[in-house]
Structure 1
Amino acid sequence: GTSVTIGLPSWLTNQENELAILVAYFVVIIIIIPVVVGLWWRNSSKFLEDGVMQNTAYRFYRQVQENTATKYVPGILASAVEFSECIPCRNMQADDLSRLHRRVSENFVKNQGDINNDIMKCKTLMYAHLLREAVPPSLQADMEEVLSRVHHLLNGLLNICMEQRFVTATMNVIECSQLFTQSLWFHSNQLLQLPHFDQQCIKMINKGIAASKGELMDKVKELGGPRRRELLPNLTDEQHLDIDIFLAHFPEIEISFDAHVEDEEDVQEGDVLNLVVKIERKHLPDDPNWVDEDEDEDEPDDSIFDSQLSEYEPESEEYETRKEELMDVWRDAYFERQKKKREREKTRNPQTGELGFAAKPLRDPVPVHAPLFPFDRYEQWMVMLVDQKTNRLVGYQKLTQNTRYEKVALKFLAPKEGTVQYEIHCLCSAYLGADKKVLMKKTINKKVDNPEKKTAAEAAEDEDDEEEEEEEPEGKWYYMGGNSVGELILNIIALAVAGVMLFNFLYAKGWWQKFCQPLLDWLLNISWPLLSFVGIRLEPGWLWFSTNVYDFKHISFMFENLTVANSSNASISTRVKFNDTSFLNSDPFKQNLFNDPDNENLRD
């Protein structure tokens, strides 16, 4: 047979080092590891799920209000704890910062905390970026640090506004994101986003724009290249080409929607309205795998067939031939839709059921033209549903797929009886003038009591309760398992190590023999009848296992020197030192070196 042994350093098995080793184990397991875990937990608990520090979120929450204007947003952002930790005021920057502050001070808007030097520094740098002011080299690194964090903090502020259902503040935060991306001041002309445009170009282009309602960017697009070149003769052909490229990639979206109650023809008070918003981003290429599931019919439309076959005599040969051709066209279109649907289903997350979002977007992010912003920016869109009467945010969702066609599903409760108007906004975080809004009007009928039929709201509530009951575990089968079996195993290992250390410590002090062993003997005497009964039942299986699977003499050999009769925990090396070699004969799998007549070291 074979045996497996573990070699340990001699200093680790030396009885003189026993106390020091126990102390070291105690310090590592009981002190160092808990301190490290505590520090990690303390640092991680400083941040919310969106990555914003809790103290920063608290400051944002205290300052933002329902009607917070865009001009106050930079001051709110400047109060973030992240800025005070990474870009504090330095004496060497005082002169440059003072000169920069004087250049932007006439546009300053007072906020809470403006007396703080760190906040004033961040606010000055933000204003300099929005006003397109040159920044001294000594402040350039701090400016980049501010701009690298500003959109992350804007996202945290946006979440706070949306959670409180603030409509005006939410839109103004998104507008501020647009201004930071394009480096534009509040209420600046949208045409300054165009390459090579300045105030003189804006005056010249306005002469050719019709005085009608609509976004300026759309009007410039409608001018066309030749007319725009006539209005801007000072620009070169290369500059006009840059403008053409920008306008070709400038966002252009179209919104359509459908709001209905599932399995109901009309809408009553308290019903759950299902709103499906379809967004087409016309500036993006077509998605070959796009499938409009609402238009995916399993059966052909008879009305279309009738209109196509009206000129033929029913049951004639031409009629049947034309009908077969139309059926072939419909089959081809149907199978093509099914193929696209299967391709799209490959991106569905198996756990959440969402298309693409939890796994990966269907397309890469769409880059933004932002030459004055030092970092890459990508298009991000937010769909918001607003109640016109109360000016409250009813629902919101971000677009995630980066495709030309995308759907957003929102659910909300129908209000009281009457006609209500909603606004559906689709807002861009990077461009001014790309936002779109459509109106939705719904007639809400009075609720009709029907004891045999639950309303959609009640049915949805019951369904949610059932899902919560299914998701709620009946009880954990382990004591300290945490969130997974892996954590259970780690906890067991940690307790085992701590238990071994505690046993060695008590044994070395003699407390185990004096207190613990008598208590264990007493418990053993009490439980001996039960243990004997169980042992008799398990003895056949135990004998078979020890005979056919593993010989447990190794275990008794390892722990024979830990018995009470020995009165010490001396190691094997200690017994060899005193020439006590009798223990080797008890292991039939180990070669008996000390009884070997050829071993020169054992001869007298």
Structure 2
Amino acid sequence: MSTDYNYDDKGQFFPYFVLTILGLILCPLTYSTFAPSKQPGVSKTPLIKEDNYKPPGNEAIDAARRRQKRKERRLKRFTSIVIGWALFAYMAYLIAVTANAEGKIWDPYEILGISMTADEKAIKSHYKKLSLKYHPDKIRPTANQTLEDLNNHFVELTKAYKALTDEDIRNNFIQYGHPDGKQSFSIGIALPTWIVSEGNNYYVLAVYGLLFGILLPYYVGRWWYGTKKHTKEGVMTASAGSLFRAYDENIDEKKLVEILTTGEEMKLITGGAREREWIGSEEATIERKIKAAGLADKQGKVIGELDGWRRRALGLLWAYIYRADLEREKLNNAKLEVAPAAIALNKSFHAIALAYSSTQPVMASMRLNQCLVQAVPPHASPLLQLPHFTDEIVAAVERDGGKNHWTVQRFIACPGEKRKKLCVGKGLLNDKQYEQAITFAKALPALNIESAFFKVMGEKYITPASLVNFVVKMRVVPPGSTPPPVDTKDLLDEDPDETDVEALLGRNGKSQGKAGDQSTTPLAHAPYFPRDYSPIWYIFLADEKQGKMIVPPQPIASWEKSTDNFAVQTFKLQFQAPPQPGEYTFVMHCVSDSYLGVDKKQNVTLVISDPSKVEQIKEDEEISEPEEDSLAGQMNAMRGGPVKKPKKRSSDHEDDSSEESDTDGEEVDDQSETDTDTDTDEK
């Protein structure tokens, strides 16, 4: 059997080639584009469904949100996918409608035009009719036929007939699929002949050199460099390096604002290729506006000591935080661009701070994130996150509130008439603005810690080096709400079934608030932030004396149950107990990354028992259990308590044994006599 290779000058195999290449590219590209997000807590539900509040400069903020959504849609990639699948469908259409005659399977029944169920007599009769009709001596060629065509057609009819009737030819057809035995076949390479034609070799080599020597290495290198250029937090590696070098255990929120502007992302927004677009008067405008908005002289001095893009970046970031109107469209757009970049850089700093386990930098990162989402200066009043609230309104509300700022919870807890009198009036809020502020305040997702305790699964006491679960029971209680009393059953934490391996290993997604839960958190109410933001809460344990975290923050991005019905949520932190017995006092922190004034802080005590004392206690408990047949045992059994089975006295045991022995002996003797009689009869 020979094989011939030829070039597909008719283009019959070319659609197969294109279809294969397109399938290899389009399938993973389409999946990566339209696959659902695996990030926990991703939601598109707003916190307030009918939110008519429009902050100052809302047009620019909405425009920035639209630009980001267009960027997220990846218009170029989507267009490429649509064009690619259209070409894929066209290639499939060409394959379906193009008849490849050379590739057809030789079928004698089809050639003769007879059914496969026909017997030999019917085949002979049908062939006789065809031979009378198509014999070259009986028919004349038409305008589109030649005598050779007629001879070939009759030869095919004869071969088909013999393949069904002649023994040898039939065997060839069965074994090789053709009456003549093994056949040579040709492979059509999916390339047109002009590619290998003489005179085109240099052009073809140039195209191949361009594709595989320049373009392919360029795109592969660009992809590889892109993967190495960014960290898993989504910031540039150079930016992460700058944040790492600037790390300080005593850092606070204001100092962190300065550090975030060292990122390369800030340089791209306010410098780099756009350096020439900036002029000195614009920098002066930024600094003048943020000082008028309330920036402290100390921070203003820091800005004045910087130069170039870094000075502009820090000024723009403070302008966003203080909600300063920079008058010029270009400056306001740049101000809105640095805010998301600052959030990304702050998350990178948060990851760096976690590696050091120091509480202060981690808390500074979380609290600054609240300020960036709400556009509120560090250490300012949480009331500024309410719609229409300005420094003047806050000052009017807090004028008799003492040194500490009011939280939203305190504001709502104030009697209605007094609350309205504090912030409604001439130069303050009107009734409509007041109602909008109250609407958000009563929807603020504040957490209420119902219970927090330590436990070891299956054990009553916690011993050194054991695997401890810190169980937190909480529920979402917006300010002004009156939740129903907590069911005591909801405050218990039952051990999982022994067959539930995932729960025993602490991987139960529902108890950890991870993906797959029943309820996701709504988007943060952040009218000044030019992005949709999904809020996250963090729970962690810290040693306040040492300033170190005992258990790293556990993010809560979704809820096990719906929060609308004040359902108790359960979250767990797992860690190894200290190696020595004693009492250890920790501080539990529950911190939001989106809202101010809703953080929770609570002291919790971990008691580590001495293993030897635990064993002694267990023995004493066993001894102290009353016997079942005693009055105390019966009373304890009625209450559901443990009881001991009564021990049998030795005399009773002997009596029972003798009675059982006598009975057994009688049975044995009877059986023995029966057996003996049987044996005797047989003998």
For the aligned pair, the TM-score class normalised by the smaller chain equals 0.5 to 0.7
Contact 1:178–1:430 (CA under 8 A) maintained in structure 2: yes
Residue 53 of structure 1 is aligned with which of 232, 236, 246?
A: 236
Asked whether 1:269 is paired with 2:464, we answer yes
- Whole-Å separation in 2 of the counterparts to 1:298 and 1:361: 18
Across the two proteins, how many residue pairs are aligned to each other?
396
- Taking a change above 3 Å as real, the CA distance of residues 107 and 353 of structure 1, as seen in their structure-2 partners, is same
Residue 71 (structure 1) aligned with residue 71 (structure 2): no
Q: Secondary structure at the match of 1:5?
A: strand
One-letter identity of the residue aligned with 1:224:
P
1:399 and 2:556 aligned: yes
Does 1:441 find its partner at 2:605?
yes
Calculate the aligned-residue CA RMSD, in Å: 3.7
Corresponding residue of 1:253 = 447
One-letter amino acid of the counterpart of residue 100, structure 1: I
Determine the C-alpha separation between the residues in 2 that align with 1:78 and 1:170: 18
Q: Does 1:180 align with 2:372?
A: yes
By how many angstroms is 1:295 displaced? Answer: 6.0
| CA deviation after TM superposition for structure 1 residue 125, in Å | 0.6
SS at match of 2:188: coil
Q: Is the 8 A contact 1:205 1:231 kept in 2?
A: yes
- Partner Cα separation in structure 1 for residue 278 and residue 524 of structure 2: 36
Aligned residue in 1 for 2:529: 373
Task: Report the CA distance between 1:171 and its aligned residue.
Answer: 0.9
The C-alpha deviation readout for 1:31-74, integer Å capped at 9, x for no partner, is: 54234212210121111111111111111111121120111111
Q: Considering only CA atoms, is the larger Rg found in Structure 1 or Structure 2?
A: 2
| 1:439 partner letter | N
Amino acid at match of 2:191: L
Contact 2:253 2:364 in 1 (8 A): yes
- The one-letter code matched in structure 2 to 1:96 is E
The answer (yes or no) to whether the contact 2:269–2:338 under 8 Å persists in 1 is no
The SS at the match of 1:123 is helix
Q: Evaluate the alpha carbon distance shift between residue 409 and residue 417 of structure 1 in structure 2; reply closer, same or farther with a 3 A threshold.
A: same
1:100 pairs with 274, 283, 286, which one? Answer: 286
Q: Distance in 2 between the 1:224 and 1:410 partners?
A: 38
Structure 1's 200 and 39: CA in aligned 2 closer, same or farther, altered over 3 A? Answer: closer
**Hey, what's the Cα distance between the residues in 2 that align with 1:379 and 1:178?**
10
Q: Secondary structure at the match of 1:11?
A: helix
The 8 Å contact of residues 514 and 557 in structure 2, kept in 1 or not, is answered as no
Equivalent position of 1:282 in the other structure: 477
* Structure 1 equivalent of residue 589 of structure 2: 425
Residue number among 554, 575, 581 corresponding to 1:412 in the alignment:
575
Q: Kindly indicate whether residue 162 of structure 2 is the aligned counterpart of residue 10 of structure 1.
A: no
Take 1:24 and 1:205, find their aligned partners in 2: how far apart are those partners? Answer: 74
Distance across 2 between alignment mates of 1:22 and 1:186: 64
- Please give the residue correspondences for 1:182-581 in structure 2 after superposition, counting only pairs within 5 Å: 182-206=374-398, 216-234=407-425, 235-255=429-449, 256-283=451-478, 354-355=509-510, 359=515, 362-394=518-550, 395-402=552-559, 403-404=562-563, 405-415=568-578, 416-446=580-610
Say whether the 8 Å CA contact 2:398–2:406 is kept in structure 1: no
- Quick one: structure 1 residues 156 and 279, their matched pair in 2 at CA, closer, same or farther if it must change by over 3 Å? farther
| Equivalent position amino acid for 1:133 in 2 | A
Q: Tell me, what secondary structure is at the counterpart of 1:153?
A: helix
Q: CA deviation at 1:183?
A: 2.2
Measured in 2, the distance between the counterparts of 1:115 and 1:34 equals 41
Question: Which residue of the partner structure matches residue 344 of structure 2?
Answer: 152
How far apart are the structure 2 equivalents of 1:174 and 1:109? 24
Distance 1:207 1:122 in 2: 35
- Cα distance in 1 for residues equivalent to 2:376 and 2:276: 28
Change (3 A) 1:149 1:436: same
The one-letter amino acid of 2:575's match is F
Q: How far apart are the structure 2 equivalents of 1:111 and 1:419?
A: 46
Matches of 1:149 and 1:47, distance apart in 2: 13
Query: Do the aligned partners of residues 293 and 226 (structure 1) sit closer, same or farther apart at CA in structure 2, a change above 3 Å counting?
Result: closer
| C-alpha contact (below 8 Å) 1:79/1:113 kept by paired residues | no
Judge conservation of contact 2:320–2:336 (CA < 8 Å) in 1: no
Structure 1 position 353, deviation (Å): 5.7
Amino acid at match of 1:246: F
Q: Which residue identity is paired with 2:605?
A: K
TM-score by length of 1: 0.58
Give the structure 2 partner of residue 38 of structure 1: 221
Q: Secondary structure at the match of 1:38?
A: helix
Amino acid at match of 1:242: Q
Q: Secondary structure at the match of 1:108?
A: helix
Q: 1:83 aligns with which of 266, 271, 279?
A: 266
CA distance in 1, matches of 2:384, 2:604: 33
SS of 1:67's partner is coil
Is the 2:252–2:364 Cα contact (8 Å) retained in structure 1? yes
How many percent identity over aligned positions? 23
Judged with a 3 Å threshold, the aligned counterparts in structure 2 of structure 1 residues 231 and 441 are, in CA distance, closer, same or farther, namely: same
Are the equivalent residues in 1 in contact too, given 2:398–2:405 (CA < 8 A)?
no
1:397 alignment partner AA: Q
Displacement, 1:103?
Answer: 4.3
For structure 1, the 5+ residue unaligned runs are 300-344, 451-604
Counterpart residue number, 2:313: 122
Partners of 1:412 and 1:40 in 2: CA distance? 39
The superposition leaves residues 86-130 of structure 1 with CA deviations (integer Å, 9 ceiling, x where unpaired) of 331445432022232244462416779963411111100111122
Q: Which deviations, in whole Å up to 9, do the C-alpha atoms of 1:194-222 show, x marking residues without a partner?
A: 3333444434434675x699963222121
What TM-score, normalized to structure 2?
0.52
What is the aligned partner in structure 2 of residue 601 from structure 1? none
Kindly indicate whether the alpha-carbon contact (under 8 Å) linking 1:96 and 1:136 is maintained by their aligned counterparts in 2: no
Larger displacement relative to structure 2 (420-429 or 192-201): 192-201
Cα distance in 2 for partners of 1:357, 1:444 equals 28
Verify the 8 A CA contact 2:453 2:604 in the aligned structure 1: no
